[in-house]
């Protein structure tokens, strides 16, 4: 079983739609969780950290479910500019700070 798994998609949605992605992790000792956005041939950019209590940043909401070992990202009112690949990154106890394991990413395509 891979350490961090994501549905590769693509998710094709119309503008204004709400879309959600999940990311599962296998290491129960995981301690930190992040969502990154990556555009084609560009570096990943941090979208948001994921906290146990859940957190929201504008149209984006991230949640963590430790019992089921997954994190989720919800995007409301999708914009054309949201089209990108979304990577989840998971850090774990005992690893170097910043040493994250990434999923393969979920591709989102928002259509007019």
Partner 1 sequence: GAVVSQHPSWVICKSGTSVKIECRSLDFQATTMFWYRQFPKQSLMLMATSNEGSKATYEQGVEKDKFLINHASLTLSTLTVTSAHPEDSSFYICSAYSLRNEKLFFGSGTQLSVL
Q: Round to whole Å and give the CA distance between 20 and 60.
A: 10
The length of the chain is 112
Determine the interface stretch with partner 1 among 22-30, 57-65, 75-83, 102-110 (rule: CB under 8 A): 102-110
Question: Tokens 């798994």, residue?
Answer: 5
- CA angle at residue 68 from 63 to 72, to 5 degrees? 25
Binding mask 73-92 for partner 1 (x = CB under 8 A): --------------x-x---
Binding of partner 1 at residue 109 (CB under 8 A)? Answer: no
Count Cα neighbours of 82 within 13 Å in the Cβ-side half-sphere. Answer: 26
* Positions 29 through 68 that interact with partner 1 (CB under 8 A): 34, 41-46, 49
Binding residues (CB under 8 A) for partner 1: these are 8, 34, 41-46, 49, 87, 89, 96-105
């Amino acid at each position: 079983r891979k350490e961090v798994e994501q549905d590769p998609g693509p998710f094709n949605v119309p503008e204004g739609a709400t879309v959600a992605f999940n990311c599962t992790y296998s290491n129960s000792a995981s301690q930190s969780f992040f969502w990154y956005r990556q555009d084609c041939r560009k570096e990943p950019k941090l979208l948001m950290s994921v906290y146990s209590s859940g957190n929201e940043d504008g149209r984006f909401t991230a949640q963590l479910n430790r019992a089921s070992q997954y994190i989720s990202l919800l995007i409301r009112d999708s914009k054309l500019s949201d089209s990108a690949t979304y990577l989840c990154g998971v850090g774990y106890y005992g690893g170097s700070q910043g040493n994250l394991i990434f999923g393969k990413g979920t591709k989102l395509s928002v259509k007019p």
